[in-house]
A and B are shown apart, each in its own frame.
Chain A
Amino acid sequence: MEHWTDQGIILAARAHGENGAVASVLTRDHGRHNGYVYGAKSSKMRGNLEAGTWIEIEWTSRVSDQLGQFKFEQGKNSAARMMHDPLKLAALLSACALCDSALPEREGHSAIYHGMMALIETLQTSVWAQSYIMWELAFLKELGFGLDLTRCVAGGDSRTLTYVSPKSGCAVSLKEGYPYREKLLVLPDFLKPEPVWNTMNYPGNETEDESARDIIKGLTLTGYFLQHWVFAHHSQGVPKARERLGSMAVKQFTTAAA
């Protein structure tokens, strides 16, 4: 009999039969893992199966290759704290959908688990959008698609990094990148290793317009690499939840910046 206990975050749950469900969970030590949940539609269990819920898990199976059965305890529902905010809820759903779609099953990714835990906490702060973009960068890196945003790939000045090459995923300085600016992605200020601080953009002093524009730049940047690198060969493409977050953010932050 195979058996382990762990902690995890619910990524998705698909109804199976009348009362059961197959849950996909991002665990701390066992990676993304699926399992059958008996009585998933009971009032006691239903709240635990929402995306983003942190739970204590017990998994049992007769042999290790089988789907196995989950037992959950002590659910901590994160989504309930964000349900009133469309963008934060969309960000949580997007992160869960990305993990569910891109992570191979039963392959340990404790860094992504801890990143998700931190993201869920920061989604309740005012810098949630920047945190989400940084989480996506870390997610790309963990999957082997890390971006190098610390130096200019064309040998330019690393203090004036302004663009990102869509081919290499490396930063490009203003001088080297300007002639090709139409083809390059824009690097948001909060991702620059050495931002040139002045009274206008010193942390806390950014105007709402600048902050909103930076968030759109950041989501466009990570969205490009998710689409062209991570999900390039996925039949389903980028999860709908991520696309929805992108379009909602553009709509809301463009209105804020206007």
Chain B
Amino acid sequence: MNKDTSKDGALGHLIKQLAGLPGLGPRSARRAALHLVMRKEDTLRPLAAALNEAADKIQTCPNCGNLDDLSPCRICQDHHRDHGLICVISGVSDLWAIERTGGYRGVYHVLGGILSALDGISIADLSLDLLKSRIEKNSPREIILALPATVDGQATAHVVMDMLSETPVKTSRLAHGMPVGGELDYLDDGTILTAFRARG
């Protein structure tokens, strides 16, 4: 029994751990903990088993940086996907967002962040060397930069494009502009301006 458990009791320790998760504060953590302990067999034990399994099995794909229990990940192993298309993204949550659309059948490369002086992320912290070696090894047809439309995101995109200019591979970037269902009156001037620039 560790120190935290002895001080707060098992329930207090569980609440403290849950309260540290994104989206949960102390109050919602207490509700979640109560829900779990009241339904031990249905919810708590399966959740504990799932957490244990995740802790043991989930790893970072050495090829693309995705998280999966297989190595290389399922996406990298999928022969039905187009391995000539590599979509460069900043994090795994962006990969999930693109996968949700169901409209992209290429593979990914997770950079592991974007350049940020405040967060201390420099070029050396991004997996650019791995991307370069993937390009040399697999000679993909196209690299799609799907990085955030923020100042830091676009600065990162320019650095990646600069690095890729030394290779013969074609590079493209996601378009910026009007969101689906967006009304002009409610958009910020930056979005409207980029939408005008990229009008078709």
- Give the B-binding residues of A (Cβ under 8 A): 12-14, 18, 47-48, 50-52, 75-77, 79-81, 83-84, 86, 89-90, 92-93, 97, 100, 239-241, 244, 248, 251
Contacts and interface: CB of A to CB of B under 8 A. Distances in A.
SS of B interface (majority): helix
A51 B152 CA distance: 9
B188 A47 contact: yes
17 contacts: A12-B117, A12-B118, A18-B23, A47-B191, A52-B151, A75-B188, A77-B188, A79-B151, A81-B190, A86-B155, A86-B161, A89-B151, A92-B151, A241-B155, A244-B155, A248-B162, A251-B162
Given A14-B118, A18-B23, A240-B117, A79 B158 contact: no
B189 A76 contact: yes
Nearest to B23: A18
A77 B162 contact: no
Interface of B: 22-23, 115, 117-119, 122, 149-152, 154-155, 158-159, 161-162, 176, 188-191, 193-194, 197
Nearest to B193: A80
Given A47-B191, A93-B151, 18 more contacts: A50-B151, A52-B151, A76-B189, A77-B189, A77-B190, A79-B190, A80-B190, A80-B191, A81-B190, A83-B176, A86-B155, A86-B158, A86-B162, A100-B117, A239-B117, A240-B115, A244-B155, A248-B162
Nearest to B148: A46
Nearest to A87: B158
A93 B191 CA distance: 19
SS of A interface (majority): helix
Contacts, number: 66
Top 4 A-B pairs, shortest CB-CB distance: A80-B190, A77-B190, A86-B158, A47-B188
Contacts of B118: 12-14
Given A83-B154, A83-B194, A240 B189 contact: no
Contacts of A75: 188-189
Contacts of A84: 197
A97 B116 CA distance: 10
A196 to B, nearest CB: 37
Contacts of A251: 162
A51 B151 contact: yes
A240 B156 CA distance: 13
Contacts of B190: 47, 50, 77, 79-81
A245 to B, nearest CB: 10
Contacts of A239: 117
B151 A81 contact: no
